[in-house]
Amino acid sequence: MLSDTQVIARIFNHIDNKTTDLGESDWYEPVQNYSSQTRFDLEQELLRRLPLPFCPLAALPQIGSYVARTAAGTPLVVVRDNDGEIKAFRNACRHRGKQIAQGAGCTKIFKCGYHGWAYRLDGKLEHIPDQHGFPNLDKSTHGLVPVTVAVKGGIVFVTQQPQLGDGALEQLPELLPANFEIFSSDDSITDINWKLNMEATLEGYHIKSTHGETFYPYGYDNLNVVETVGQNSRITFPFRRIERLRELPQQQWTAERMLTYVYNVFPIATVAQLSNHTVLTISEPISPTSTQFFNYKLGAVDANDSGALERAKKDAAFVADTGLQEDTAVVREIQQGLSSGANTHFTYGRFEKAIVHFHQQLNSNLEKMQSDTE
């Protein structure tokens, strides 16, 4: 990807010439792909074969830290084991299938709440109450069932089925540094297709119309730098205060507090690097018209700056209470409008380069998956 200096230089060129980054092609996406059960099932099958963003590494800070949730329709749990390694398992007891962990927390052992079977952090079956009742059971073959796990860019990825390419892992930069800590996390369910949320983060063509009294007074409308690297992308949203840098030599230019980087970590996650904090949002599809959002808000730990955390919280509150609510309202209306019959497809133009790239990668992966199974 471009360096901060290169990005800033391109922004100044766009400001001076009243231009923005443009894509090379249009994209026509059938509206049925936002409500079709058949399409949704195919996408879920694909998500189980891609390295899927699951949580930030910062959510697993110590031995025994775990996160349990459903990913692509499958209950999973990730944990930091006694050796400090990150492991991922199917969240089901090997006796009768009850989930052995819920939510997030820290534990020394996973114990099933049904009959008390207990598992170590590395997934091995440790204890069966009254084991004499299972005289022929081999404990070594009844540990939690693992799934593939990888850590890159400060994000934990899981892959449930035989992997179909590298997905987001290819050329993923360091997005969540080791000194980042989570200061807030939440989840919610919204009645929209998961792709509509991804699209809302990947273009600046809507800034003035949608965020006229919130983001627009501080930024620009339809002025973005758009980069695609592998299956991921990055879109830059500059603030008007970036003009201050014109007075400085290039070696003193900084992106800090002058712009926002928004990364699409293909296919279901967004990392937004804002002025004082960073947000990882994972869009977990539930149904063709329902999505669960997992939001992790992180900030850098700086022993020399006691006010850093408060600035991060203030920054996060402004973003959550203004622009994100406006985006959510828009995509809800889009989902509701699908039934109007007005459109057979949505048209994504040259201003929406990152969205076109997203759909190209999604369709390419679906085609590859289907050809592999034929």
Q: For 237-262, how does the pLDDT look when each residue is reduced to its tens digit (9 = 90+)?
A: 999 999 999 999 999 999 999 999 99
Would you say residue 339 has pLDDT above 80? Answer: yes
| Residue reference for tokens 């969205």 | 355
- The reply to whether omega before 51 is within 30° of 0 (cis) is no
Rounded to an integer, what distance in angstroms lies between the CA atom of residue 353 and that of residue 29?
14
pLDDT at 48 over 90: yes
Region(s) of the chain under CATH 3.90.380.10: 4-49+174-373
Count of C-beta atoms within a 10 Å radius of residue 25: 11
Averaged over 233-239, what is the pLDDT? 98
Strand partners, 80: 86
pLDDT of residue 373: 75
Q: Which CATH class is domain 4-49+174-373?
A: alpha beta
Q: Where in the chain is the domain with CATH 2.102.10.10?
A: 52-163
Listed in sequence order, the residues at least 6 apart from 130 whose beta carbon sits closer than 8 Å to its beta carbon are none
Q: What is the pLDDT of residue 306?
A: 67
Does domain 52-163 correspond to CATH entry 3.40.50.920? no
Instruction: Output the DSSP codes for 279-346.
Output: EEEEEEEEETTEEEEEEEEEEE--TT-TTHHHHHHHHHHHHHHTHHHHHHHHHHHHHHHGGG---SEE
Residue 321 pLDDT? 61
pLDDT of residue 121: 98
The size of the chain, in residues, is: 374
Across the chain, mean pLDDT equals: 95
pLDDT score recorded for residue 374? 64
Write out pLDDT tens, residues 286-310: 999 999 999 999 988 776 676 777 7
Answer whether 270's CB lies under 8 Å from 263's CB. Answer: yes
The model's pLDDT over 91-128, given as tens digits with 9 standing for 90+, comes to: 999 999 999 999 999 999 999 999 999 999 999 999 99
Q: Which residue has the higher pLDDT, 276 or 210?
A: 210
